[in-house]
């Protein structure tokens, strides 16, 4: 039986619980409104309004002559808020707006009017009108009927993005780069600028609409960077390399042209083959990132070490025997069957004798292999250059303390096997020899500027010590001149100016199958007063067509040298006409010059000619050339036999 006392106790318990509940609720309300009120207000605000980052325009990237390599182009997406527009304004201006949209974007007026009306019906606050308009198109559309009332009354929404464009297209694409790659990546700190902010409001379906056309914080555009690249030399290097890769059906290749005294990189082309085709594109930056066995171009390093250590001189004689010498269980061969007999090291360098070099290094260093390797280390061959362009490959020079050092390692190193260098690392060494032993660091930048003033200047060469004595360098210069004059590079000998360099041919991937080669040529020109150094490396040419460095790589070097020589004669007294009188890459180039001389006042027939050769002929006739496409000339805008005048423009279509 329930007593009054027990009922009263239950009432007190219930009352206490209710009081506690109300107190808890009261505290929570106080906490939300007073203590953490601002936090929840901010949270609510964030669900409706949010600051978005606005990317700045990247600075322009120029070549050394202020030709654009990369530029940022603003693009605009136009959208329409069909809700914010009043009914009166919509009825008054929608038809006129549809008319202008039809004129600009195509489709009929009725199509655009129905699209606007449908957006109005379904309360679409983010209707896409047009994508990727340029600035002038955006300005014009902003003045269309209704849109000219602004974002609130006219529902006009403009969203800017930035597109990076390369005027050179695919030429030098990996050198110019993108993102973290190439020059774009190397100088990103200057080019990127500072982000801005723009406030947007959240609307239906998770979309965000800008509050106004004015940014909260305006972005700061990046600085402009003037590089060392010369688009004219880059163009020549690209097409000379491409032509040779196509002819020899090679896998990939690279070319680098450097200004000898300054270290400025004037061109860097890298082309890789599209699988199962004979088409090439800028696949990877092989010149910077890909270490490979250099083969006979390493003989310069071996000879430099031996001359510096004074264990030989260039007149030291070694017996090449029958063109084969055995070291332990392995054999070294010369390319000439039967060998060269007893020859001096100067002659061995000219003819690129593997046996003579293997004997020379083994005889003088077999008891102290560390002495030879340490000399190579002292010349910096085991260290990266330290480029601003990212991804430089790590060179490899074996040391006697390595676990995989064998008795045959030393003699094989002498002619470039078992060591690895990138193309640019090899070129840097050769460039130092051209500079009388002074090592100059490769450079890709000249200036950093904003729109009106100079920010940074990089005019002085970066000297990285000496790799050898001036005496040794002079001896090696003489030997490289003789290689081109009467040695393995004599097929590119020029009648009017001298080049110096070294051919290289080495087997690659021999652990997979035989018959794969790397063909190279590296040197400088003119031989007497070097102005440019250059390296050409071509990987895995079809051996049935050719694989020696002298026939595969050297002609590319010669064609680049010839073109630079023609455009900027290296001696004032030598005319362009004399420069064309050459035995350089092929008889065809002489034929091209004869054509250009024959047709001094009339247009020649250039159909079937390689495009860049046709351009060279026409430019030497004083014509302005617009080249469309690559490969061989298919059509020309001025018929052959037509009288031509100086500065006349001609279009060439090639494929």
Q: Domain ranges for the chain, please list them.
A: 4-35, 52-227, 232-567, 588-654
If phi > 0 it is left, if psi is from -120 to 50 it is alpha, else beta; for residue 337 that is beta
Residue located via tokens 């030997």: 479
Q: What is the pLDDT of residue 356?
A: 97
Q: What is the pLDDT of residue 30?
A: 66
Q: What is the pLDDT of residue 390?
A: 93
> Which two tokens mark 131?
């994508």
Please determine, for residue 42, whether its predicted confidence score (pLDDT) is greater than 70: no
Q: What is the pLDDT of residue 452?
A: 74
Least confident of 167-171, 398-402, 458-462, 477-481: 167-171
Beta bridge partners of 164: 72
Please determine, for residue 241, whether its predicted confidence score (pLDDT) is greater than 80: yes
Residue 136's pLDDT band (boundaries 50, 70, 90)?
Answer: confident
Helix (H) / strand (E) element for 591: namely: helix 587-598
Q: What pTM value is reported for the model?
A: 0.74
Query: Is pLDDT larger for residue 329 or for residue 250?
Result: 250
For β-strands 624-628 and 532-539, DSSP reports them as unpaired
For β-strands 532-539 and 224-227, DSSP reports them as unpaired
Instruction: Please give the Cα distance from 48 to 44 (Å, whole number).
Output: 7
Find the helix packing angle between 231-248 and 611-620, rounded to 10°: 140
Query: 588-654: which CATH number, 3.30.10.20, 3.90.1640.10, 3.20.20.80, 3.40.47.10?
Result: 3.30.10.20
236-255 burial: b if 16+ Cβ within 10 Å, else e: bbbbbbbbbbeebebbbbbb
- Cis amide prior to 122 (ω within 30 degrees): no
Q: What is the mean pLDDT of residues 200-219?
A: 63
pLDDT in tens, 513-531: 778 999 999 999 999 999 9
Q: What is the pLDDT of residue 499?
A: 96
Please determine, for residue 573, whether its predicted confidence score (pLDDT) is greater than 70: no
232-567 CATH fold = Beta-lactamase (3.40.710)
Instruction: Please give the Cα distance from 416 to 317 (Å, whole number).
Output: 21
52-227 CATH fold = Penicillin-binding protein 2a (Domain 2) (3.90.1310)
Q: What is the pLDDT of residue 44?
A: 46
Give the CA count within 13 Å in the CB-facing half-sphere of 240.
Answer: 35
φ/ψ of 583, rounded to 5, equals -110, 25
Query: Is pLDDT larger for residue 53 or for residue 437?
Result: 437
Q: What is the pLDDT of residue 403?
A: 93
Give the Cα-Cα-Cα angle 384, 63, 571 (nearest 5 degrees). Answer: 90
């Amino acid at each position: 039986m329930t007593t009054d006392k027990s009922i009263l106790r239950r009432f007190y318990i219930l009352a206490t619980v209710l009081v506690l509940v109300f107190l808890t609720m009261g505290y929570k309300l106080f906490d939300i409104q007073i203590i953490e009120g601002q936090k929840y207000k901010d949270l609510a605000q964030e669900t409706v309004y949010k600051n978005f980052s606005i990317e700045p325009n990247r600075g322009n990237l120029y070549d050394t002559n202020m030709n654009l390599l990369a530029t940022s182009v603003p693009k605009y997406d136009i959208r329409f808020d069909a809700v914010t527009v009043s009914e009166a304004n919509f009825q008054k201006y929608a038809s006129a707006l549809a008319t202008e949209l039809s004129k600009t974007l195509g489709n009929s007026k009725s199509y655009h009017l129905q699209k606007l009306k449908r957006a109005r019906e379904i309360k679409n606050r983010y209707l896409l009108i047009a994508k990727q308009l340029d600035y002038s198109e955006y300005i014009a559309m902003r003045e269309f009927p209704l849109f000219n009332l602004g974002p609130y009354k006219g529902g006009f929404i403009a969203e800017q993005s930035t597109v990076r464009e390369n005027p050179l297209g695919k030429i030098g694409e990996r050198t110019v780069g993108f993102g973290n790659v190439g020059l774009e990546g190397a100088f990103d700190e200057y080019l990127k600028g500072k982000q801005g902010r723009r406030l947007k409001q959240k609307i239906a379906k998770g979309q965000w609409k800008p509050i106004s056309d004015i940014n909260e914080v305006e972005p700061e555009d990046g600085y402009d960077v003037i590089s060392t690249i010369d688009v004219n030399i880059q163009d020549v290097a690209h097409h000379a390399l491409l032509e040779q890769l196509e002819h020899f059906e090679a896998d990939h290749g690279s070319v680098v042209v450097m200004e000898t005294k300054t270290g400025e990189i004037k061109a860097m082309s890298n082309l890789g083959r599209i699988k199962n085709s004979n088409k090439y594109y800028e696949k990877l930056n092989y010149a910077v990132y890909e270490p490979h066995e250099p083969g006979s171009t390493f003989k310069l390093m071996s000879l430099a070490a031996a001359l510096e250590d004074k264990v030989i001189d260039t007149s030291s004689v070694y017996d090449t025997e029958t063109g084969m010498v055995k070291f332990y269980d392995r054999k070294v061969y010369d390319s000439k069957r039967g060998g060269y007999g007893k020859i001096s090291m100067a002659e061995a360098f000219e003819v690129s004798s593997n046996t003579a070099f293997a004997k020379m290094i083994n005889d003088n260093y077999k008891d102290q292999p560390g002495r030879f390797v340490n000399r190579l280390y002292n010349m910096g061959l085991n260290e990266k250059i330290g480029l601003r362009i990212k991804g430089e490959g790590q060179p490899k020079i074996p040391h006697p303390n390595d676990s995989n050092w064998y008795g045959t390692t030393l003699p094989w190193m002498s002619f470039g096997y078992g060591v690895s260098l990138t193309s640019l690392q090899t070129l840097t060494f050769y460039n130092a020899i051209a500079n009388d032993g002074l090592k100059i660091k490769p450079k890709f930048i000249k200036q950093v500027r904003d729109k009106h003033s100079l920010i940074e200047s990089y005019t002085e060469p970066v000297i990285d010590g000496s790799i050898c004595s001036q005496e040794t360098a002079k001896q090696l210069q003489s030997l490289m001149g003789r290689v081109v004059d009467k040695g393995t590079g004599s097929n590119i000998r020029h009648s009017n100016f001298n080049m110096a360099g070294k051919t290289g041919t080495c087997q690659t991937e021999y652990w997979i199958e035989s018959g794969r080669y790397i063909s190279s040529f590296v040197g400088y020109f003119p031989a007497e007063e070097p102005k440019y150094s250059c390296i050409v490396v071509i990987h895995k040419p079809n051996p049935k067509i050719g694989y020696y460095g002298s026939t595969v790589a050297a002609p590319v070097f010669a064609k680049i040298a010839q073109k630079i020589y023609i455009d900027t004669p290296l001696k004032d007294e030598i005319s362009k006409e004399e420069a064309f009188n050459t035995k350089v890459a092929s008889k065809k180039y002489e034929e091209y010059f004869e054509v250009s001389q024959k047709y001094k006042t009339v247009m020649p027939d250039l159909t079937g000619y390689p495009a860049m050769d046709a351009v060279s002929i026409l430019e030497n006739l004083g014509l302005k050339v617009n080249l469309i496409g690559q490969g061989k000339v298919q059509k020309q805008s001025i018929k052959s036999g037509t009288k031509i005048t100086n500065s006349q423009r001609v279009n060439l279509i090639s494929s």
